[in-house]
Chains A and B, each alone.
Chain A
Amino acid sequence: MVRAALIILGKDLRLRMRDRSVLLFAVVVPLGLTALFSAILPDDQPRSVTAAVVDADGGEVADGFVDGVLPAVAADGIVTLVEVDDEAEARREVAAGDIDVAWLIPAGFSDEVGAGRATEITVLVAAGRVLPGEIARGVAEAYATQVGHVGLAVVTAAEVTGSAPGPEDVAAAAEQAAATPQVVRIAQEATATGDRLDSTSYLAAGMAAFFVFFVTQFGVTGLLEERQQGTMPRLLAAPIRPGAIHLGKIGGAFVLGLTSMTVLAVASSALLGADWGPAPGVAVLVVALVLAALGVLALVASFARTAEQAGNLQSAIAIVLGLLGGVFFPVPGDAELLRIASLLSPHGWFLRGLAELRATGDWTVVWPAAGAIVAFGIVAAVPAVLRQRRASTW
């Protein structure tokens, strides 16, 4: 069965390569749109950042940030501070997109800084708030740098108090300061679909996800084309299992989809400077998305009577799912309904998975998104298989 499926797959790929429209859908159009959009769209619109701070420490160093730095930044109009009771509330507000960012200062922060040990300020960033995230991080980093010097000053003062330092002591303290450039580290957490992807990467991934639903269509509608052009009876009359025909068609669609996305990932990285994240995670997400596309297309093919009908249905579905998933523009973090709707789209999960991947650099974080994407495909494929079983063979 596999041999026959491979023969059919080979024939289909040969035909598709001669059909230049597949190259247009697979590479030229998505890459061109990515280049165009990334050229005309800025990364983010600047605006005031809505922010909260949770001070679990209450020490002097923390006070310096909460009562010194932040009011000054607020006075400049860069941030608008809102009050929250505790870390849990801050996380809820950020997750809901009600505030853009939150700084979390842990208990013992001041003591750790005083002792010269590493500690951290956590910056929570809401989904879709790229620029606010960068601003919040910048503010914290600036303070961390400052704290490093302050910490050094404290250490130096203590030494002065204990015994009068000589010039060599001051030099040693200076060396210590140089060796301790930043006592406070910044930890940044993505809360949801934080599209930590820059606009070019986001658009490239979005376009690839959008057009893979068109590219795979060529393989799946091939079944209908075989019926239309009269070759299906001849295939069914051959000494092969009927399942080999379906396997060959699905295999062809899978190869086309995978090739298209791989080419786009490589080309957008090489030509447009996009960065999709660590390759293993990207591969998992790409395979999941192609499988989901096949599931949807199988469902479409089971309803359509002609390849043209299937193409039209598929186009409509691809556009709706793409828009829901935010392939053209990121779903605004404060648009709760759209964010929920994006969970119904494999495109949305794909972009969410890539954002997590980029944010963490850990390829294993994509499994939940990949699982959701594959589940979407299975939900679509099951009725398609049931309908196919009921249908006559030709």
Chain B
Amino acid sequence: MTTTPSATAPVLSCEGLKKSYGGQPAVVEVGFDIAPGETFGLLGPNGAGKTTTISMIAGLLRPDAGSITVAGERMSPTAAAAKGAVGLVPQDLAIYPDLSARENLTFFGRLYGLAKQPLRTRTDEVLEVIGLTDRAGDRAGEFSGGMKRRLNIGIGLLHRPRLLILDEPTVGVDPQSRNAILESVEQLSGEGLAVLYTTHYMEEAERLCRRIAIVDQGRLIAEGTRRELVATLGEQDLVRLEVSGDAVAAAEACAGVEGVRSADVEESTVVCLMHGAGSRLASLLGVVAEQGASVTGVEVREPDLEDVFLHLTGKALRH
């Protein structure tokens, strides 16, 4: 699946990416573009193929098929020019706890070929951006989770990449640090940096990403703006029934009610996507009661990205 070409030349362009492990497909025909200044969200449950896709884009893995171009350079594990245009911020903290923040930045800056004086200047700038100037000489291992996350991002930014890959950058951070990270991403995007962003947090995707792709079982199953994705569900309502009893049996019964397009189970909640919820709610409650379950809470609202995701993959995003 490919996107409509951007008005400006894309910083990242992937097409027909495939990768298998031991005959088991991990990524199947994935393709998308990211324009300068665009933040592109990649959503998918665990094991959907996001990390494999990111690994190929960052030059860590060679695709079995397909092509990746970053800033006009073909990407491969030995393509120095293409790799130099990418800043990778892995999901797991990729810092040396026994080095200071400055030493971490300096080490990776040197690997990216920055000369001594420009590196020193750039390190000071990045420390300022990530709010660690006052702690520059402290061991990274002594930092809080949020500070480590910020340093992790700072290393990815140090060499002024054209494309920044952020893989779940806010996992395990406090709300204040998370907000600081999101603001930084917005600022960087505003400065023309292309960002590939994966997250489990739908509100982050909705806030940051102009376009979002949903990946499941290695395939890119939907892509578009938030409005476009929600529109794929049509003029429907989302009904959430908190159930005490057999939720699976209740969901199966709900699926048979007129107007219900899908009925899924999220723990003890039956989630129904349906037309005309106002007039059919009583029918839903009735079939649930027939299954011997009782409804302890009801919510009716318009669907959002989370619901799109659930509808397309049959799974909650945070599984």
A→B interface (CB under 8 Å): 4, 7-8, 11, 14-15, 18-19, 229-231, 233-242, 393-394
The answer to whether A236 touches B77 (Cβ under 8 A) is: yes
Closest to A394 in B: B60
Q: How far is it, in angstroms, between the C-alpha of A119 and the C-alpha of B203 when the chains are bound?
A: 98
Chain B positions 87 through 113: 1 when the CB is less than 8 Å from some CB of chain A, otherwise 0: 010101111111100010001101111
Given contacts A15-B96, A19-B98, A393-B60, contact A240 B80 (CB under 8 A): yes
Decide yes or no whether B83 CB sits under 8 A from chain A: yes
Q: A7-B107, A15-B98, A19-B98 are in contact. Are A230 and B92 (CB under 8 A)?
A: yes
User: How far is it, in angstroms, between the C-alpha of A7 and the C-alpha of B83 when the chains are bound?
Assistant: 18
Interfacial chain B residues near A11, Cβ < 8 Å: 96, 99, 107
Q: Contacts A7-B107, A239-B84 given: A230-B99 contact, CB under 8 Å?
A: no
Instruction: Using known A-B contacts A4-B111, A230-B93, A394-B60, determine if residue A237 contacts B98 with beta carbons closer than 8 Å.
Output: no
Cβ of B86 under 8 Å from chain A: yes
A230–B94 CB distance below 8 A = yes
Q: Which of B61, B96, B112 contacts A239 (CB 8 A)?
A: B112
Report B283 CB to chain A, min CB distance, Å.
52
Contact A231 B96, CB 8 Å, known A236-B59, A237-B83, A237-B86: yes
Q: A-contacting residues of B (Cβ < 8 Å)?
A: 55, 58-61, 77-78, 80-81, 83-84, 86, 88, 90, 92-99, 103, 107-108, 110-113, 155
The minimal Cβ–Cβ distance linking A256 to chain B, given in whole angstroms, is: 16
Q: Give B71 Cβ to nearest chain A Cβ, in Å.
A: 12
Q: Would you give 17 A-B contacts (Cβ < 8 Å), ordered by A?
A: A11-B96, A15-B99, A18-B98, A19-B98, A229-B93, A229-B96, A230-B93, A233-B94, A234-B94, A234-B108, A237-B58, A237-B88, A238-B108, A239-B81, A239-B84, A239-B113, A393-B77
Closest to B111 in A: A238
Flag if A234 contacts B96 (CB, 8 Å): no
B112, A238: Cβ atoms closer than 8 Å: yes
Beyond A8-B111, A238-B112, 6 extra complex contacts between A and B, CB < 8 Å:
A14-B103, A229-B96, A233-B60, A233-B90, A237-B86, A241-B78
Residues of B within 8 A of A230 (CB): 90, 92-94
Cα–Cα distance between A8 and B58 once the two chains are bound (Å): 20
Q: How far is the CA of A7 from the CA of B58 in the complex (A)?
A: 21
Residue on A with the closest CB to B79?
Answer: A239
In the bound complex, CA of A221 to CA of B93 (Å): 19
Partner of B83, one of A229, A238, A393, A394: A238
Considering the chains assembled together, what is the distance between the CA atoms of A9 and B133 in angstroms?
Answer: 27
Residues of A within 8 A of B155 (CB): 234
Chain A residues closer than 8 Å to B86, beta-carbon distance: 237
Contact in complex: A237, B60 (CB < 8 Å): yes
A19 to nearest B CB, angstroms? 7
Q: Which one of A4, A8, A14, A233 has the highest number of Cβ atoms from chain B below 10 Å of its Cβ?
A: A233
User: Roughly how many angstroms separate A138 CA and B158 CA in the complex, as a whole number?
Assistant: 74
| Given A18-B98, A239-B113, A234 contacting B84 (CB threshold 8 A) | no
- By beta carbon, the residue of chain B nearest A235 is B111
With a cutoff of 8 Å between Cβ atoms, the chain B residues found around residue A234 in the complex are 88, 90, 94, 108, 155
In the bound complex, CA of A369 to CA of B301 (Å): 82
- Determine which of B81, B88, B95, B111 lies in contact with A240 in the assembled complex, contact meaning CB atoms within 8 Å: B111
Question: How far, in whole Å, are A31 and B83 apart by their CA atoms in the complex?
Answer: 47
**Closest Cβ–Cβ distance, residue B229 to chain A (whole Å):** 30
**How far apart are A227's CB and chain B's nearest CB, in angstroms?**
10
Residues of B within 8 A of A231 (CB): 94-96
Chain A residues near B103 (CB-CB < 8 A): 14
| A239 and B90 contact, Cβ closer than 8 Å, known pairs A7-B111, A11-B107, A231-B96 | no
On chain A, the residues within 8 Å of B98 by CB distance are 15, 18-19
Chain B residue at minimal CB-CB distance from A15: B98
Q: Please indicate the chain B residues that have their CB under 8 angstroms from the CB of A8 in the complex.
A: 111
A394 to B86, CA, bound (A): 18
Smallest Cβ-Cβ distance to B86: which chain A residue: A237
Known: A15-B98, A239-B83, A240-B80. A393 touches B108 (CB 8 A): no
- A237-B60, A238-B108 are contacts. A14–B77 as well, Cβ < 8 Å? no
Q: A7-B107, A234-B155 are in contact. Are A229 and B88 (CB under 8 A)?
A: no
Evaluate contact between A14 and B112: CB separation under 8 angstroms: no
* A229 CA / B78 CA spacing, docked (Å): 23
Which 4 residue pairs across A and B have the least CB separation, nearest first? A230-B92, A239-B80, A239-B84, A234-B94
A4-B111, A238-B111 are known contacts. Are A233 and B77 too (CB-CB below 8 A)?
A: no
> Which residues of A sit under 8 angstroms from B58, Cβ to Cβ?
233, 237
Q: Which residues of A sit under 8 angstroms from B84, Cβ to Cβ?
A: 239
What separation, in Å, do the CA atoms of A372 and B92 have in the docked complex?
44
A241 CB contacts on chain B under 8 angstroms: 78
Choose among A237, A240, A242, A393 the residue with the greatest number of B CB atoms under 10 Å from its CB: A237
What residues on B are CB-neighbors of A14 within 8 Å? 99, 103
Q: Are B113 and A233 in contact (CB under 8 A)?
A: no
State how many angstroms separate the Cβ of A226 from the closest Cβ of chain B.
9
Q: Which residue of A lies closest to B59 (CB)?
A: A237
